[in-house]
Structure 1
Amino acid sequence: MQPATPRFMLIEDDGDRRIPCRGAGGVFTGPGGEPLRLRGCALPAELLDRLRAGRKVRPSLFSLAAVDRFGLETDLSLVSLDVAEWFPRDDGLVDLLLREPLHDPPGPAARAIWDLWSAGRPAAGNFWAAADRPEWLRAALAHHRAEGPDRPPGRTFRLDGTHVTDLASFLCALGEAVNGPGGYFGRNLDALADCLRGGFGATTPFTVAGPEVPRVRDVLEAAGVTLRAAP
């Protein structure tokens, strides 16, 4: 039986097995984490047969993806499918307790951000202003999908600097200036430099109109990008 409304999808590293689940615990725990708990999972027949027979399931690497209301899957983190306990349900699905946490779990503050994204891409900018900025940038990167070619060189991207106070908030605003609400254009200085090489919506040289924050100007100017104060 397939879960009626899967919220998560386990996807094997080689793509051979996909396991939809209705819910999960231990996802938004941050570093250290806790063992992942999966609820209402539709296991492949061979895996379910092994569990029913009391045979060990060989651990294998999966990615855990969140599934939004449109069925779009977005990777959260990697996890070893190493089953510590399993619990059959009356609906034919199973609950699983794994021995290990996610390899790089998002923090507790990320839960509200991913809940927002589960309804689809943000419809307006600056939702990040009330969120944990590093977790917002991580989620924006995870949800980033190239939509056509980069804009041609010579453009001016105007930041909404209302909530810009530091590097993380500058990058949140820059991502939205280049790629629209919820957009991504770097989560730290190294990632910003990578985005400036192309493939993330903009082609150098271009101009950024926005506030000055420490260390950004050097990275932009090294790539041929002008940072000037917004009028």
Structure 2
Amino acid sequence: MRYLLVQEDEDGTEHLWGRCAGAEGLFAEPAPPPPREVLTLRGCAPGGLLADVLSRPEGSFRGLGDMGVEVWQGERPVRWWTLVDAAVLTHRPHPADPARYDVVLGAGVTSEEAPSEPPAEPRFALFTGPGATDAGRCSAVDGLFRTRPEPDPVPMELIGCEPAEPLLAALRRPDRRRPARAGLLVLDRHGAVMASLGIRPELAGVRPSVLGGALVDITLAYGDGHRDRPLPAVRSVWDEWFQGPPTGPNRWAPYDSRGRDAWLELTTRAWRLPAPRPDRSGGEHHLDGRFVTDVPGLHCAMAEALLGPGRYYGREWQTFKDCLCGGFGVAPPFTLVWHDSATARRALAGVVEDPEAGLSYFEEIVRLLEEQGVTVVLR
């Protein structure tokens, strides 16, 4: 059995629903981007990147990246939208206040929440960039509150399942209320959990298993579409981890950025395990920088330098900062000797985390390390 179907209670305890031999549809291509729409920000007082874009000449590039729209009712936020790959199409002074603007955007629109009616007197806060930087306020967003079609479900087939009692009860009474979320734990060949995926236990079909005996094959409707499932392109990374956690250095290096990102995703299971207490500080750690040619590679190499192969120590700037605060096995002060640092400096020169600071990702990481009390030696 390579898979466990579990349900997590309010205390975080996982209860076994069943064991399965196979999962067809575990890997899936990403959902297509949402269709482009035209929206208008009314009475907008721009800030940050949005103000910068509006100040440029009319014919210049006017992309904003992904923009967050936070809807407030009274003194609290009640809804969050993401305008995917937002771009300013045009803008003009707001009729009631020439100091403000009506800004016409093109964007895809997504939200993690169910459709709802707008509040009676909403306020709208705008954010841009990976750090959700303040981009201003507006009084209304035309075209935001409407029902959009859900992505088509991509079913998953659980093959050769041995149901435990909670799943048996659900199979006997399909209309019985089931938890909104469950988990599929993926086991390596030694029986250890190597990955977990959140799923909705929506049973679309059950039949005697192709493997025979008392086993059953179960079709999950998987209402979240493609979300959370790994890409077919990273199947080789999962195959490698199926043999057991890596024991040698730089096993992630042959993969492209998608593969390295999948590698980091698999290390997050180790993050859920108890970290050594107390954190180790002091001493000297050596980072092999020969293969640090992208952001995922930097974090693969960093975790390997501090904790060893296959371990987790953040996967982007914010989670890396969290790890430096303690609780993940190693905490400052210590010395980091970064060998072949010029490779990362060149490769990440165009990757900017904070547009206002203007530093490259490599420079941001070095600055963060030094601010947290790490002595960084670049070689």
Report TM bin, short chain.
0.7 to 0.9
Whole-Å separation in 2 of the counterparts to 1:102 and 1:150: 39
Q: Taking structure 1 as reference, are residues 39 and 163 closer, same or farther at Cα in structure 2, changes over 3 Å only? A: same
The answer to whether the 8 A contact 1:11-1:63 is kept is: yes
Match runs of 1:19-168 below 5 Å: 19-32=18-31, 34-45=154-165, 47-48=167-168, 51=171, 55-60=174-179, 61-89=181-209, 90-100=212-222, 101=225, 103-131=227-255, 132-144=259-271, 145-146=273-274, 148-149=276-277, 152-168=280-296
| Unmatched runs of 5 consecutive residues or more in structure 1 | 1-5
Structure 1 residues 190 and 24, CA, compared in 2 at 3 Å: closer, same or farther? same
Cα separation, partners in 2 of 1:195 and 1:10, compared to 1, 3 Å: same
2:333 pairs with 1:205: yes
How has the CA–CA distance of structure 1 residues 46 and 125 changed in structure 2, closer, same or farther, with 3 Å as cutoff?
A: closer
- What secondary structure, in the 3-state scheme, does the structure 2 residue paired with 1:181 have? coil
Shift of 1:47: 3.7
Which residue of structure 2 lines up, in the alignment, with residue 3 of structure 1? none
Q: Normalised by the size of structure 2, how large is the TM-score?
A: 0.55
Give the root-mean-square deviation of aligned CA atoms.
2.2
Alignment check: 8 A CA contact 1:109 1:135 kept: no
Higher strand fraction (1 or 2): 2
What TM-score comes out, normalization by structure 1 length? 0.86
Q: Give, in whole Å, the separation in 2 of the partners of 1:66 and 1:98.
A: 16
Q: CA deviation at 1:103?
A: 4.6
Paired positions, count = 224
Q: Distance in 1 between matches of 2:170 and 2:229?
A: 28
Q: Which runs of 5+ in 2 are unaligned?
A: 32-152, 346-361
Identity over aligned residues, as a percent? 33
**Cα deviation per residue 1:23-67 (whole Å; 9 max; x = unaligned)?**
10222225437222111111134643653x574353422111111
CA deviation map 1:125-144 (0-9, x unaligned) = 11111221111111112234
Which has the greater radius of gyration?
2
